[in-house]
Amino acid sequence: MENSELSSTNFISVFSNLPKPFENNSEGDGNHKPLSLWPGMYHSPVTIALWETRSRIFEVMNDPSIDHPPQTQLLTKTPSQSRMTVLYNFSSDFILREQYRDPWNEMRIGKLLEDLDALAGSSASDSIALTANFIFVARDSKTRKAAPVNRLSPETEKEKQLFEDAEARSKFRKRKRGQNQRYYSDGEVHRLAALLSEGRIFCDMPALADRNSILLRDTRLANSLICQPQQRNIHGRIFGGFLMHRAFELAFSTAYAFAGVRPSFLEVDHVDFLKPVDVGDFLRLKSCVLYTEVEDPEHPLINVEVEAHVTRPELRSSEVSNTFYFTFTICPEAKADKNKINIRNVVTATEEEARHILERKDSKALQGIKVC
């Protein structure tokens, strides 16, 4: 992540062995806790660097000798005042490089998503490797209730364009929420029937089903975990980047098992954070291939959904806390041997599944992305 216009105060260099501030420090009043013991200290090279930077900000805010506006006073700020750059020292730091390397000597996208979420908590993120947009709810530092935020005044043409894009995305999300309650027209009823027809053959006459298709339920994978204190953020909830990391790795495995060859990540769509996840929660991640796009044999698309369920056995309840959507294609090496590639068409066994697929396809279409 880079930007040549940044000042040195907004430039963070990430190493694998950054010293932790306030530890073994003879100076000061002794009231500081070691950074590694701070609530919400989720450990990764980037989060350590960000927490170190943020600790200096906290020191300034708590220093009565420094004149700064109170939190209740709203200001108008430019994007450049909150921009932050992170430099990964991969070329000189072998240990750091190993933490971000996957088995195929490529970047671990899940860890980058985790880092981007952490970075977005401190500033707006703009990455030359991966670009992501995050929406956060402002909380008052004392009451923990919703709080107003400073106004934003874009200056450059690029900043103005980003500002307009954000407004467009906001309108799209509102339109999407409204569509969830809409009734289906005659044309959409036919689309539902087409999705269900092949699925009913699989259920009723499996010997006659199309061998180039597969039921959605047969693409599912899942894993479970207990959320640990080390995975929490500053508010005591489970760090969103951790959830994104785990969801990505399950989605990657799902696409891998489905395609039979190594997938290549293309994009992550809008992530719905419906409910917070707490320390001690029993989290179940469930994935499936929603649909595929195989019209272009050189670039087949595999669309994977991952749902995070907070399960409470003692209450006999399970609620969806997060929903993630990832798109993969086939890695370039696999394309060389086309005989190994057989991307099947996903069909549904229930009307609920069919409606869900149509909603996802229509959502992608509203974003200007071609789907069939």
The alpha carbon of 98 is separated from its chain's Cα centroid by a whole number of angstroms, namely 22
What pLDDT is stored for residue 248 in this prediction?
Answer: 95
Do you know the residue count of the chain?
372
Q: Which of 269, 4, 292 is nearest to 113 (CA)?
A: 269
Angle of helix 240-259 relative to helix 109-120, nearest 10 degrees, comes to: 160
pTM over 0.85: no
Q: Which of 241, 246, 240 is nearest to 223 (CA)?
A: 246
CB 158 within 8 A of CB 131: no
Q: Which of 348, 353, 350, 305 is nearest to 209 (CA)?
A: 348
What pLDDT is stored for residue 67 in this prediction?
Answer: 57
Break the chain into its structural domains and give their ranges. Answer: 8-154, 185-366
**b/e map of 252-265 (b: 16 or more CB within 10 Å)?**
bebbbebbebbbbb
**b/e map of 67-93 (b: 16 or more CB within 10 Å)?**
eeeeeeeeeeeebeeebbbbebeeeeb
Tokens of 94: 């072998």
What pLDDT is stored for residue 372 in this prediction?
Answer: 41
Please write down the HEC assignment for all residues of the chain. Answer: CCCCCCCHHHEEEECCCCCCCCCCCCCCCCCCCCHHHCCCCCCCHHHHHHHHHHHHHHHHHCCCCCCCCCCCCCCEECHHHCECEEEECCCCCHHHHHHCECCCCCECHHHHHHHHHHHHCCCECCCCCCCCCCCCCCECCCCCCECCCCEECCCCHHHHHHHHHHHHHHHHHHHHHHHCCCCCCHHHHHHHHHHHHHHHHHHHCHHHCCCCEEEHHHHCEEEEEECCHHHECCCCEECHHHHHHHHHHHHHHHHHHHHCCCEEEEEECCCEECCCCECCCEEEEEEEEEEEECCCCCCCEEEEEEEEEEEEHHHCEEEEEEEEEEEEEECHHHHCCHHHCCCCEEECCCHHHHHHHHHHHHHHHHCCCCCC
- Which conformational region is residue 260 in: left (phi greater than 0), alpha (psi within -120 to 50 degrees), or beta? left
- In angstroms, the CA 272 to CA 269 distance is 10
What pLDDT is stored for residue 186 in this prediction?
Answer: 56
**CA distances (Å), origin 45, targets 73, 125, 283:** 33, 17, 25
pLDDT in tens, the chain (372 residues): 333 333 434 666 676 644 444 444 444 444 444 444 444 445 566 766 666 666 665 565 555 555 555 555 666 777 776 666 777 778 888 888 888 888 888 888 888 888 877 766 544 373 445 566 666 667 676 676 777 777 778 888 888 888 887 777 777 666 655 554 444 555 677 888 888 888 888 888 988 888 889 999 999 999 999 998 878 877 778 888 889 999 999 999 999 999 999 999 999 887 878 888 998 999 999 999 999 998 888 889 999 999 999 999 998 999 999 999 999 999 877 766 666 678 999 999 998 999 899 888 887 776 654 444
Instruction: Tell the CATH topology of 185-366.
Output: Thiol Ester Dehydrase; Chain A (3.10.129)
